Amino acid sequence: MCSARYGLRRAILNGAVAAGLLASPVIAEPVTIAALGDSLTQGFGLPPEDGLVPQLQRWLEANGAEVTLINAGVSGDTTAGGLARIDWTLTDEVDALIVALGGNDVLRGIAPEAVRANLDGILTKATARDLPVLLVGTEAPQNFGPDYKAAFDILFPDLAQTHDTLFHPNLLTLLLDIEDREAASRDFLQSDRLHPNTAGVALIVEGIGPLVLNLVALTKAE
């Protein structure tokens, strides 16, 4: 359970966002954000400078934020793996956390209640340190049936509300919104048709970047 004062800060931030006050924030002091994730965060198959964390770092700096992003992505990781390494990810210099896990859980058909428990454990560790968090969701395909999909899809917004975190529904939203799936796959995915290429990562950054700016602003409200 998050602290009352953290909830108040987030309410203030949400009001500022709604009023358009954080569209172009000017951040004077640097903050350190750990990005806890899987291969999408780690930058699988890409040159080091083209992965999600380096591209997001450049985007944030171009938009006035002085930020150090820590790449805590591990290819193939699940929410259980994230929970196992959260303690040593949250070093003393970390000021905020991005959590982008769950894709590998759904690929393996891991029970939604287990995923929920793992993510709850991660978020509990972060909020115990009063760290602002951006939780990134994911969606289950229809492969495991409608009951699995409904239980899986809802757990991310539920946890964001419970722990009073910022929330981004899906890293791949802008890719999935492209109607021409063949063109999207050709132009924005690597040859494995699973992982984004450099251009695909740029789309991901375009989608998540404004929320990370809000995370920076929330961190500055500490």
List residues with catalytic annotation. 39, 192, 195
- DSSP-derived letter for residue 114 is H
C-alpha 186: how far from its chain's center? 25
Q: Which residues contact 176 (CB under 8 A, 6 or more apart)?
A: 170
Q: How far apart are CA 115 and CA 80, in angstroms?
A: 8
Q: Which residues of 20-58 are buried (b: 16+ CB within 10 A; e: fewer)?
A: eebeebebeeebebbbbbbbbbbbbbbeeebbbbbbbbe
